[in-house]
Amino acid sequence: MRDHEGALVKALIARLKGDAALQALLGDPVRVWDQPPEEPAFPHLLIGKGESRGLNADGGGVEHRLTLTCASRFAGMEEARAVAAAVRARVADAAVEADGVRAVSLGVTFTDVFRSADLKRAWAVMRLRAVTEEI
């Protein structure tokens, strides 16, 4: 069995980095990582916690839930909201594939946008659900 979660993350990063709206918001090159650099620039998007479980389906299906977090230092929450909206639009039912695995279902199921307690950062936390299968 292939590494479905690793392939999904790889394909997701490539899809997000290829989006003009996210490039305008997150810089060029687009700051989307699964491991951030020591001192990351802002705003950026981090792929964090992932959960996966096998499905009893043809094609060796796997259901995934991934957490994406946008960190912004913009004065207000507009930038974090804009990043969340761009991510939602870019991944909605997107046909992504990598390393012999493709997503047959992909979308944002939850978004929470809020300020840090010190009001110096805004966060957008998104939860994605995907179902993958081997090609």
Sequence spans of domains, the chain: 4-134
Q: Is the CATH number of domain 4-134 3.40.50.10800?
A: no
Does 1 score more than 90 pLDDT?
A: no
Q: What is the mean pLDDT of residues 96-125?
A: 96
Q: What is the mean pLDDT of residues 72-77?
A: 95
Does 71 score more than 70 pLDDT?
A: yes
Instruction: Please give the angle made by the CA atoms of 132, 133 and 135, to the nearest 5 degrees.
Output: 130
Provide the mean pLDDT of the chain.
Answer: 95
Task: Tell me the per-residue pLDDT of 12-60, one tens digit each, with 9 for 90 and over.
Answer: 999 999 999 999 999 999 999 999 899 999 999 999 999 999 998 666 7
